[in-house]
Structure 1
Amino acid sequence: MDDNMKITFTWVLSRDRPKGKEVVRNTWIVDEPNLPERTDVQKVLNGSLNSFTINNVYPRFFRVTGSGDIRLLELENNSVSGNLVMNHANYEWWSFHDTTAFKGCGGVAGPTAIVVSEETPPTGILGDTLSKFSIWGLYITFVLAVGRFIRLQCSDLRMRIPYENLPSCDRLLAICEDIYAARAEDELGVEEVLYWTLVKIYRSPHMLLEYTKAD
């Protein structure tokens, strides 16, 4: 017993939901001031004593979130102390007796804790989605998706207005039809002239306005 002594206490909680986080585990390390006396531990191991006391082993109240995290509740007297007992029979085993147990626990002396588990969504496609991403995550994803869609619809809108809100496109459509007709008649020279005329109109806002005036 000359080496440093360390005592850890682990809770393993299992639940049906949420999917993928059915098992929650957390470990507490007993602070050095709350460790038992080395002589008492040595006596228990030698068989001359059957138990030793550990103070503030783990918190009695804690909350398990939907994401699987364990958070302590800020309450007074939230620590459990007890005796670690070495039992002797056909084989040896350790048992923990809670010396600070509540009267409402029905005289249970073993390790006890009061766990507040967050409400999780029901089973199904929607429930599985909410359990994986949480309501906030689903909400943020929805808002970002809608925002991106609106942004794509409104981006560079000022650049598209001159071409989308034209008063009359009859003359432009006539030029396009002439281009198709020239191509059909294999008049490539005429097609090229009409094509560059159309490009010139679109490049010049003034010409575009002139060609799209309402009659």
Structure 2
Amino acid sequence: MSIRGKHDPLFITIYSNCACTFRFSLQMYSSGNPTNIANPVKDANVQVDIKTASGRLTLYQTTLCERLQWDKLNADINLDPRGVLDTYNENDIQLICCQADASILWLVPNVVQTRFIQSLDWEMDMDIIFTWVLTRDRPKGKEVVKYERTIDPPYLPKKSDVQKVLNGSMNSFRIYNLYPRYFRVTGSGDIRPLEQEEISVSADLVINRVDNEWWSFHDVNSSNVTGCGRLTGPMAIIISEETPPQGIIGDTLSKFSIWGLYITFVLAVGRFIRLQCSDLRMRIPYENLPSCDRLIALCEDIYAARAEGELGVEEVLYWTLVKIYRSPHMLLEYTKTE
């Protein structure tokens, strides 16, 4: 048995398919830099809602939040006494400081407030929902991440206190364990509390009644936390993990992680090559014979006999062709080069 030469048709087909696949893979990889780059938080806002079976009201909301880079903070400020952030890159850590006063006015009509106060008597459940919304540049399709937490019942204020604040007989109520102080935003676009640090934030929600009405958020432990200066509202320490840059590879890694890259390139491209190369021995009688002139002539004779209505001749020629293909020896004889 001779080794296939470089001019063999089957060899040329396989080589061309593999070369095209290889060039395609190189082009895909060249469109993205596998080195991850910083992906800081570009925008942040906070919201506190109260909910009963009768509906949901937004008490406090602010979009006025500053983002301070960790390496730009005053060296005298120690926001990590336990050292849990030492394993992270300083370029990925930010201090988010928000204003205590809401950026929206409390414009709920008195009749709605009255009905909501009554619903607190009728309904057994009252929920308070705290939400962080963070915006980054990447990954595409997951630029905005949300951390939403429903406060556990033991940490909720008394319903009577909430009623008194809404009807004007009190100015504030306290909520405990609103959210963790430390967050980690993953490269794939998920926001999670930092497992090693379980410091939770408690706050007083205060309603201000002057010419207009608005809510304020006052961190109970703000005196123990430095770094935000005059901003005494919601504060969090965010670790935003690095992500791949823009490009096909970067987008694939960002959206689907390394498993998405594996499925896209290894399984898909591998399956394509396998389909091109599978069952080659079954294709040899049709694609890799020395000379098929006699077999082609036999096929043309079958077509001519059918066209002339010589069905008996057609059947004899047809079974002759089948017999040739069923016998490797006869097939080799009929396809020899003269």
Is residue 2:323 matched to residue 1:203?
A: no
- Which residue of the other structure, out of 28, 51, 63, is the alignment partner of 2:184? 63
Give the Cα separation in 2 of the matches to 1:15 and 1:90: 37
Residue 143 (structure 2) aligned to one of 22, 28, 32: 22
User: Structure 1 pair 45/152, CA: closer, same or farther in 2 (3 Å)?
Assistant: same
Render the CA deviation track for 1:108-134: whole Å, top value 9, x for unaligned. 320111222232333456655554555
Give the Å deviation of 1:12: 1.7
Q: C-alpha distance in 1, partners of 2:196/2:333?
A: 79
Residues 129, 209 of structure 1: CA spacing in aligned structure 2 closer, same or farther, 3 A cutoff? same
Superposition CA RMSD, Å: 3.7
Decide whether the 8 Å contact of 2:294 with 2:334 is kept in 1. no
Matching residue of 1:82: 203
Pairing partner for 1:94 from 195, 206, 215: 215
**Alpha-carbon distance between aligned partners in 1 of 2:325 and 2:301, rounded to the nearest angstrom:** 21
Report the equivalent of 1:173: 293
The CA distance in 2 between the partners of 1:164 and 1:181, in whole Å, is 21
Letter in 2 for 1:52: F
Instruction: Show the counterpart of 1:121.
Output: 244
Q: Displacement of 1:144 after TM fit?
A: 1.9
Whose RCO is larger (CA < 8 A, sep 6+)?
2
**Does the Cα contact within 8 Å between 2:295 and 2:335 map onto a contact in 1?**
no
3-state SS of 1:104 partner: coil
From the superposition, tell whether residues 113 and 153 of structure 1 become closer, same or farther in structure 2 (CA, over 3 Å): same
What secondary structure, in the 3-state scheme, does the structure 1 residue paired with 2:227 have?
Answer: helix
The Cα offsets for residues 119-175 of structure 1, whole Å up to 9 and x where unpaired, read as 233345665555455554233211122121122123223433566666xx35x5345
**Out of 49, 54, 60, which is 2:170 matched to?**
49
Instruction: Give secondary structure in 2 for the equivalent of 1:208.
Output: helix
Q: Which runs of 5+ in 2 are unaligned?
A: 1-119
- Over residues 86-126 of structure 1, what are the superposed CA-to-partner deviations in whole Å (9 max), with x where a residue is unaligned? 11211111111112342233363201112222323334566
Do the aligned residues in 1 keep the contact of 2:295 with 2:334 (CA within 8 Å)?
no
Shift of residue 55 of structure 1?
Answer: 0.7
Structure 2 equivalent of residue 6 of structure 1: 127
Partner deviation per Cα, 1:185-211 (whole Å, 9 max, x = no partner): xxx77x956665443211222423455
In 1, Cα distance between equivalents of 2:331 and 2:213:
96
Structure 1: stretches of 5+ with no match in the other structure = none
Tell me the SS of whatever aligns to 2:245.
coil
Q: Aligned residues, how many? A: 212
8 Å Cα contact 1:61/1:78 also seen in 2? yes
Question: Which of the residues 60, 63, 72 maps onto 2:193?
Answer: 72
- Counterparts of 2:302 and 2:151, CA distance in 1: 91
Identity of aligned residues (%): 69
1:98, 1:110 within 8 Å by CA — same for their partners in 2?
Answer: yes
- For normalisation by structure 2, the TM-score amounts to 0.51
Contact 1:99 1:109 in 2 (8 A): no
CA contact under 8 A between 2:298 and 2:321: conserved in structure 1? Answer: no
For 1:112, the equivalent position in structure 2 comes to: 235
Greater alpha carbon shift after TM alignment, 121-130 vs 145-154: 121-130
